[in-house]
Chains A and B, each alone.
Chain A
Amino acid sequence: MTRRLRIAGWLLVLVASLLFPLVFTNPATLSIALVTLMYVGLASSWNILGGFAGYISLGISAFFGFGGYAFAITLHAFNVQAGYTPFAWLPLIGVLTAVVAIPLGWAALRTRQAVFVTVTIALMLVIQLSAENLVSITGGATGYGFPIPNWSAAFYYKPFYYAMLTVVVVSIAVAYVVRRSGLGLGLLAIRDDEDKAEAIGVPTKSYKLAAFVISAGLAGMIGAIFAYSVLYIYPQNAVDPLISMGAALMAFLGGAGTLAGPVLGALILAPAQTELSYYVNGQLYLILYGALFLAIVRLLPRGIIPSIGDQLRSRSSRHVDLLEHDGHHVEGRVDADDVKVMEGVRE
């Protein structure tokens, strides 16, 4: 794909999302659009660690929930009036969440692979437990309310929509900057072979932590807007494992590690899952959601965008194969990792 085409694509999506609330004014539609945007942002920020560095986290809803609580508590503490002013506090929430993520990330990132995933699940549980148990701060199981803006029902979702859009644009921009920076290259190297990256001088520890913290900060702001839009935050809506799973799943569907993949995945899956939840009861929803998930991992393990990219690449670069004289002369030992590399290539 040419560079110009890509820029045009991004601009088109941006303009469409700017105009969306002007065209579709139905509040029910707008609320679905808000949730969709939320997932676009979450999947994109998840991707900075999960996609670039290959550290799959299921703890993003920990920071999503933390941001929500931090927002509610901050607004209350500083007696911020309902309306637009709360949105001005969002950057602070982002920074706060990021700061909290530093020690958590430091501890969690001492592990790798499966253990890391497990630790992020524990992280999610510990934030939820804190929300339940630190009653004097969080209101315990009953939760914490937001100041209620006096917007009409027809208008209500629009400010949230545009606030969310702003944070989403920031998330994608941050992901873009990271991707083309030295940090991004280091993260991709970590994904492919962390020990080797470390051995050739990539500061793997600080790079991973940076990715963890950036992605947490973004998730915190997204969670804050979401919580404000539903006006009430309690342990179950703040730290929802389905949100962690959703963000990861959407990124995988579109293509983890690419910039457009998580956006595409969220645009497809988020509205679909919301629609689905209207039409089928909770039990069937879970079954279908699980089945969809299994189907995606099974049929498109590398996601939509990389699969398309492969198609294009294999067409444009066939001539290279002709130059590989020595490919067939490999002798000696071939180890498992090499076989894995080869299998990855063949797919």
Chain B
Amino acid sequence: MNGGLLLGASVLGLLLGGIYGLMASGLALTFGVMRVINVGHSALVIAGAYMSYELFAHLHIDPFVSLVITMPVMFLIGMGLEMAFLQHLREDREQFSVLVTWAIALGVEGVLGYFCGTDLVQISTNYANSSFSIGGVQIVYIYLYGFLLGALLMGLLALLLRRTTFGWSLRATVLNRQAAQLIGIDVAKVSAIAFGIAAAMAAAGGALYGMLNTFNPGSWYDLIGDLLIIIVLGGFSSVRGAFIASLVVIMFQEILSVIISPTWADWSFFMLLAIVLIVRPSGFFGVKTREA
């Protein structure tokens, strides 16, 4: 086997993993804070991709620049969705949230299809294919920029969570929703903002996704399985876990695709999931004994 290929695959996997991490961390954040599994998260990613696409195609705004528009807009959309459809969920919140967010995803898919059509599109910037070579490894700039953007946004999120009062309320809510409420944290507000942040992260992820892939409104369905499995592997409510899991899973996938075959690589997510389920199901967010 070719060592250079392997190295190339690892680097590619790392960069791509950073981009997936951007998408998956939003999912982990909403689960942690709200106990809501947002299966519609990838639909928000695709919505973000379409926004960047439309701004690029019609107004020629570079997708990295248009993030200053798409991220705030998606932030507001996310908050709106949370307040309209998720806030009122009480009984069996986790399970119902899956149904509700799936319905939201279908709605988003329908709206995108209605306005943007269902043809496959891609955000093709003029630097889309330029690359450079380092140590014999060919690196496409977009992947590198994507990774850097992912790392930057994750860093900002970490600062927000660790250094601000809002971050403190948010982490308290993750630890225990009920207790947070009792110590005077406005859990409803925290949830709405967290959902907004996740949606904004999805918008950024979407811009990158749209540059790297062709997509149409139905593409959310291709993406959601990967994202869900990533956060299961990452421990479900941990943002950091989700980011690390993305790096690991995507690298595993890329390496598998050069050492065995790309077809096998499609299975890598499911193989990892099966291993975790069999070996360490309790490594997940555990709904264990409620002690009296």
A touches B (Cβ under 8 A): yes
Q: Which of B107, B269, B270, B285 contacts A286 (CB 8 A)?
A: B107
B106 part of interface (Cβ distance < 8 Å): yes
- Complex contacts, B215 vs chain A, CB 8 Å: none
User: With contacts A129-B266, A286-B110 known, is A111 near B277, CB below 8 A?
Assistant: yes
| B50 CB to nearest chain A CB (Å) | 13
Q: B228, A121: Cβ atoms under 8 Å?
A: yes
User: With contacts A112-B287, A287-B111 known, is A248 near B99, CB below 8 A?
Assistant: yes
A58 part of interface (Cβ distance < 8 Å): yes
A110 part of interface (Cβ distance < 8 Å): yes
Interface size on A, residues (CB 8 A): 46
Which positions 48-98 of chain A face chain B at CB distance < 8 Å? 54, 56, 58
Q: Which of A108, A110, A126, A245 contacts B102 (CB 8 A)?
A: A245
Q: A337, B95: Cβ atoms under 8 Å?
A: no
- Complex contacts, B217 vs chain A, CB 8 Å: 283
| A192 CB to nearest chain B CB (Å) | 11
In angstroms, Cα B95 to Cα A111, docked, is 13
Which of A126, A241, A291 has the most chain B CB atoms inside 10 A of its CB?
A126
Q: A343, B90: Cβ atoms under 8 Å?
A: yes
Q: B103, A111: Cβ atoms under 8 Å?
A: no
Closest B residue, CB atoms, query A244: B102
- Complex contacts, A267 vs chain B, CB 8 Å: none
Per-residue contact bits, chain A 119-144, to B (CB 8 Å; 1 contact, 0 not)? 10110011001000100000000000
| A221 CB to nearest chain B CB (Å) | 25
**A interface, by DSSP: helix, strand, loop or mixed?**
helix
A212 part of interface (Cβ distance < 8 Å): no
User: With contacts A119-B273, A293-B103, A294-B103 known, is A284 near B110, CB below 8 A?
Assistant: yes
| A283 CB to nearest chain B CB (Å) | 4
B156 part of interface (Cβ distance < 8 Å): no
User: With contacts A286-B106, A289-B106, A294-B103 known, is A118 near B228, CB below 8 A?
Assistant: yes
User: With contacts A121-B225, A301-B91 known, is A287 near B287, CB below 8 A?
Assistant: no
Among the stretches B10-18, B31-39, B185-193, the one at the interface with A is B31-39
Q: Which of B105, B274, B284 contacts A111 (CB 8 A)?
A: B284
- Complex contacts, A4 vs chain B, CB 8 Å: none
B109 part of interface (Cβ distance < 8 Å): yes
- Complex contacts, A245 vs chain B, CB 8 Å: 99, 102
- Complex contacts, B96 vs chain A, CB 8 Å: 297, 301
B281 part of interface (Cβ distance < 8 Å): yes
Q: Which of B269, B274, B285 contacts A107 (CB 8 A)?
A: B274
Closest A residue, CB atoms, query B226: A125
Q: A114, B35: Cβ atoms under 8 Å?
A: yes
Q: A286, B98: Cβ atoms under 8 Å?
A: no
Q: A108, B277: Cβ atoms under 8 Å?
A: yes
In angstroms, Cα B118 to Cα A286, docked, is 13
Count A/B pairs, Cβ under 8 Å: 136
In angstroms, Cα B98 to Cα A294, docked, is 11
Q: A241, B221: Cβ atoms under 8 Å?
A: yes
| A175 CB to nearest chain B CB (Å) | 20
| B23 CB to nearest chain A CB (Å) | 15
In angstroms, Cα B267 to Cα A122, docked, is 11
Closest A residue, CB atoms, query B99: A297
Q: Which of A117, A249, A283, A297 contacts B37 (CB 8 A)?
A: A117
| A52 CB to nearest chain B CB (Å) | 14
- Complex contacts, B204 vs chain A, CB 8 Å: none
Q: A114, B37: Cβ atoms under 8 Å?
A: yes
Q: B284, A287: Cβ atoms under 8 Å?
A: no
Q: B277, A121: Cβ atoms under 8 Å?
A: no
B75 part of interface (Cβ distance < 8 Å): no
In angstroms, Cα B281 to Cα A301, docked, is 30
Which of B92, B105, B288 has the most chain A CB atoms inside 10 A of its CB?
B92
Per-residue contact bits, chain B 224-240, to A (CB 8 Å; 1 contact, 0 not)? 11001100100010000
Which positions 136-154 of chain A face chain B at CB distance < 8 Å? none
In angstroms, Cα B106 to Cα A112, docked, is 25
Q: A293, B106: Cβ atoms under 8 Å?
A: yes
Q: A126, B270: Cβ atoms under 8 Å?
A: yes
- Complex contacts, A298 vs chain B, CB 8 Å: 85, 88
- Complex contacts, A118 vs chain B, CB 8 Å: 37, 98, 228-229, 232
| B124 CB to nearest chain A CB (Å) | 25
| A271 CB to nearest chain B CB (Å) | 19
B213 part of interface (Cβ distance < 8 Å): no
Q: A114, B31: Cβ atoms under 8 Å?
A: yes
B155 part of interface (Cβ distance < 8 Å): no
Per-residue contact bits, chain A 300-332, to B (CB 8 Å; 1 contact, 0 not)? 010000000000000000000000000000000
Which positions 243-274 of chain A face chain B at CB distance < 8 Å? 245, 248-249, 252
| B36 CB to nearest chain A CB (Å) | 9
Q: B266, A133: Cβ atoms under 8 Å?
A: yes
| B81 CB to nearest chain A CB (Å) | 10
In angstroms, Cα B113 to Cα A282, docked, is 9
Q: A195, B99: Cβ atoms under 8 Å?
A: no
Closest B residue, CB atoms, query A125: B225
B290 part of interface (Cβ distance < 8 Å): yes
Q: A252, B99: Cβ atoms under 8 Å?
A: yes
In angstroms, Cα B225 to Cα A301, docked, is 26
In angstroms, Cα B125 to Cα A101, docked, is 47
In angstroms, Cα B31 to Cα A176, docked, is 36
- Complex contacts, B284 vs chain A, CB 8 Å: 111, 115
In angstroms, Cα B94 to Cα A252, docked, is 15
Q: B263, A290: Cβ atoms under 8 Å?
A: no
Q: Provide 22 A-B residue pairs closer than 8 Å at the C-beta atoms, listed in order of the A residue.
A: A56-B98, A108-B277, A114-B37, A118-B37, A121-B39, A122-B228, A122-B273, A125-B225, A129-B266, A248-B99, A284-B110, A285-B110, A287-B111, A287-B114, A290-B104, A291-B107, A293-B99, A293-B100, A293-B102, A293-B103, A294-B103, A297-B96
Not counting A283-B109, A301-B96, a sample of 7 additional A-B residue pairs whose C-beta atoms are within 8 angstroms of each other reads A54-B92, A54-B95, A110-B281, A115-B285, A133-B267, A289-B103, A337-B290
